[in-house]
């Protein structure tokens, strides 16, 4: 699971969960994969991200030092920041572990890089 995916996941569909975001990442296995840098793609994605959730996810997987606490003005002209964002969003992958709901502490497994967010019948 890439951190760009994490930024879109929520457990809001669960009974009694108001927001269910951001999910806490508990990584057991991770890897870095090389992906060609695409400055335009990263620049277009940044406004769509929840920055605080991204920083939280990066912290969960040991990459907090790669990101500032707040998105700086003029980020689109900061090539070093854009490259760090590219790395954190697209090259850092969680292979196994789990995602934890911040409200219920329900854990969703991650296996082979795929989060299983299916709910049990009694959770809906």
- Does 62 map to a domain? yes
Q: What average pLDDT does the segment 70-94 reach?
A: 96
In a domain, 30, yes or no: yes
Instruction: Look up the domain containing 20 and give its range.
Output: 3-116
**CA neighbor of 105 nearest in space, from 35, 26, 9:** 26
* pLDDT surpassing 90 at residue 66: no
The model's pLDDT over 9-46, given as tens digits with 9 standing for 90+, comes to 999 999 999 999 999 999 999 999 999 999 999 999 99
Residue 122 lies in a domain: no
Number of domains in the chain: 1
Q: Is residue 7 part of a domain?
A: yes
Closest CA to 22 of 47, 49, 43, 41: 49
Average pLDDT for 49-66: 95
Is 123 within a domain? no
Please check whether residue 124 lies inside any domain of the structure: no
Calpha distance 44→33 (Å, rounded): 21
What percent helix, strand, coil does the chain show, rounded to 5?
Answer: 35, 20, 40
Q: Identify the CATH number of the domain in which residue 32 sits.
A: 2.20.25.10
């Amino acid at each position: 699971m890439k951190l760009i995916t994490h930024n879109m996941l929520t457990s809001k569909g669960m009974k009694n969960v108001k927001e269910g975001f951001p999910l806490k990442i508990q990584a057991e296995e991770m890897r870095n994969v090389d992906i060609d840098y695409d400055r335009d793609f990263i620049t277009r994605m940044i406004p769509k991200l929840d920055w605080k959730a991204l920083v939280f996810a990066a912290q969960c997987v040991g990459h907090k030092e790669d990101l500032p606490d707040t998105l700086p003005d003029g980020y689109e002209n900061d090539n070093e920041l854009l490259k760090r964002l590219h790395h954190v969003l697209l090259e850092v992958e969680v292979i196994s572990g789990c995602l934890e709901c911040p409200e219920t502490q329900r854990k969703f497994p991650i296996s082979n890089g795929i989060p299983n967010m299916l709910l049990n019948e009694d959770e809906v």
